[in-house]
Structure 1
Amino acid sequence: MTRTTTPALQLPRTLSRPQFTDISRDALAAAAPELAAVPAEFIRHGLRAKSPQMQAGIAALAPSHLPPSIPRSHLPQALTVPLRAPPPGAPAPPSYPTHALAIAPPAKSSSGERDAPQAIFPVHAVVLAAHCAKIPRLPSPPRTHSASASVTLPVLPLALPSPQAYSILHAFMYTHRLDAALASLLPMPPAFLESLCSTSQTPASVVAAALNTPAVRHTLAAHLCASSGGNLSALMAHAGHVKELWQDMVALGMYDLALWDALDLAWEVVLGAMNLAAQ
């Protein structure tokens, strides 16, 4: 494979897609036994309809009792988090998360890195099981009654290359918004992001068309190059973010075709912007 080498980062020409693997039926059965035999695409489609209730459930967690990160040495087996009253107009009833992921890069030899902060993400087990083929079977959470004032979330440590990149994937699993995923990776022209929210075309078709149209890729690359001031170091940082997202998608076993097209588009745009900056 042809590579472009820089002092700070080795860039592959393409980010290879791993061979497709179906989601784990064992993990799915643990999260939602009634869905164990349902095709994955049907499950994901159904979850999109329930996304407002699930996001409302996450938003109901009191932030004062849900730290954004916890040192590995102080990681509890579970977090008990009080619930806030839902705001007016919130979906009813909210669907509360079932677990908390504690994400950090794989621990290395030094004691400081072994005790690095673990980023905390409240999640619904069924969302993870329906999107991530490599997610392990999550332990069963305690039952939560609708009148409960708190929820108890079992904590699952998970080693991923980039907690920051996972935050993009976490949002995508709930919203399926390609515009938000791309905007989290790169500065994109507002008109292009708005086109992903058009009612005349699906976001996936817009991204696929852009990926296969050199003129559109060039326009996006020129915008990125200009927004970065033609600075190669800034563009390499963008390339690093895209590559981290790729690594997390591979590690989790995420095979959403539209998201992969968006990742490929972001990579093409970064490489194009670097070529323009080098001219």
Structure 2
Amino acid sequence: MPSVAVPRSSQASRALRRSQSTRMTATKFECAAQAHLLAQKRRIPLATKYDVNTNVVPACTKLSLPRTLPRPVLGEVDTSSLVGAYPDLAGIPAEYIRDRLNLTTPKMRAAIQAVETSVSKSTLPTELNILMNEVVSFACPTHMFAVYNDAPLPLGHKRQVNLFPIHDLVFGLQCTNLPTLPAARPSSSPSHTTVPVVPLRLPSPETFSLLHAYLYTKQPATLLASLARPCETDMLQLAAHANKILGLWRNACLLGVVDAQLYDVIGASWDSAIAAMQACS
């Protein structure tokens, strides 16, 4: 068969089309690879776990969070343990005492915020001296909580313990699972008073300050504001925030806090955090 000569212009046109097709195919593969990589990066934070003790989110473990935080069955506190120190409370319903106590708790909170004390960093004492001043003496704390958890520690590290001055009435009337508190001694000096130190093991020591403040203030709006999710859309930040809410819920459940509004706030904050994480993933 005789050969047919193809004009040079047609050859150039075909070569150009083949080149364009090759570039388009390469571009598609490149875009697909980038999209796959980006999707992997977006999924990576979902496969992490927030370490509440070190504030580090290791990338090799899996984050497992419940979609909802179940509301515990709210019982009622047994005031018999308080009657020894407060005989006038015998036979009075706990709910009524709590309502009356709300009139005094602002001054109690002012007193615990004004507490000054010192403690050795090497050992935890059984008692602590609290310096008396005008604010503290008006509503002096009865005990000192030494809050900690029992998570394993690296070799050579000391367990961190946080001290919180408290009033036995505030916690005894709102927590069904509070450990037995030793008897508080009345102050024998105008300059200081001695209070028992009560070790309190909790799953989330770092969030106890939120619960501590709420039990004194009983202001759901303030707690809700402190649990507002961050504006960032970074999954690690959202996971850390969700872990904060989870820690507060675990502490409240362990202590048996009998406050429905507390769990309303925790539930609403949790739903918002989970929705943000789902939108980010």
TM-score past 0.5 threshold: yes
Moved more, 30-39 or 123-132: 30-39
Q: Report what 1:141 is aligned to.
A: 184
Match of 1:172 in 2: 214
Equivalent position of 2:106 in the other structure:
52
Return the alpha-carbon distance in structure 2 between the equivalents of residues 175 and 94 of structure 1: 17
Equivalent in the alignment of 2:138: 94
- Classify the secondary structure of the residue corresponding to 2:278: helix
The residue identity in structure 1 corresponding to 2:172 is A
The DSSP-based 3-state class of the residue aligned with 2:125 is: coil
After TM superposition, the score normalised by the length of structure 1 is 0.73
The equivalences for 1:188-199 within 5 A come to: none
Q: Match for 2:192 among 150, 160, 178? A: 150
Count of residues paired in the alignment: 223
Larger Rg: 2
Aligned equivalent of 1:244: 247
Give, in whole Å, the separation in 2 of the partners of 1:112 and 1:128.
Answer: 35
Secondary structure of residue in 2 paired with 1:152: strand
Cα drift, residue 273 of structure 1: 1.1
| Pair 1:81-2:123 in alignment | no
Q: Calculate percent identity across the aligned residue pairs.
A: 34
In structure 2, relative to structure 1, the CA distance for the partners of 1:28 and 1:110 (3 Å cut) is farther
Please tell me whether residue 129 in structure 1 is matched to residue 172 in structure 2.
Answer: yes
Shift of 1:61: 2.1
1 or 2, which has the higher strand percentage?
1
Q: What CA deviation, in whole Å up to 9, does each residue of 1:34-84 have, x standing for no partner? A: 22422222121111100122123223422xx246xx65x600010012123
The aligned amino acid for 1:44 is R
Does structure 2 retain, via aligned residues, the 8 Å contact 1:102–1:157? yes
Matched, 1:118 2:167: no
Q: Does structure 1 residue 163 correspond to structure 2 residue 205?
A: yes
Q: Following TM superposition, by how much is the alpha carbon of 1:163 offset from its aligned partner in structure 2, in angstroms? A: 1.6
* Code of the aligned partner of 2:82: L
The aligned residue for residue 43 of structure 1 is: 97
Structure 2 residue identity aligned to 1:163 = P
Return the alpha-carbon distance in structure 2 between the equivalents of residues 31 and 101 of structure 1: 18
Residue 18 of structure 1: aligned partner: 72
Distance of 1:239 and 1:262 partners within structure 2: 13
One-letter code aligned to 2:125? P
Instruction: Call closer, same or farther: CA 1:244–1:143 in 2, change over 3 Å.
Output: same
Is the counterpart of residue 7 in structure 1 residue 65 in structure 2? no
Query: Hey, what's the Cα distance between the residues in 2 that align with 1:135 and 1:167?
Result: 16
Contact 2:153-2:159 within 8 A present in 1 as well:
no
What secondary structure is seen at the aligned counterpart in 2 of 1:12? Answer: coil
1:153 partner SS: strand
Counterpart check, 1:106 vs 2:150: yes
Q: What's the Cα RMSD here?
A: 2.3
Gap change, CA 1:180 and 1:239, over 3 Å in 2: same
Distance 2:214 2:90 in 1: 23
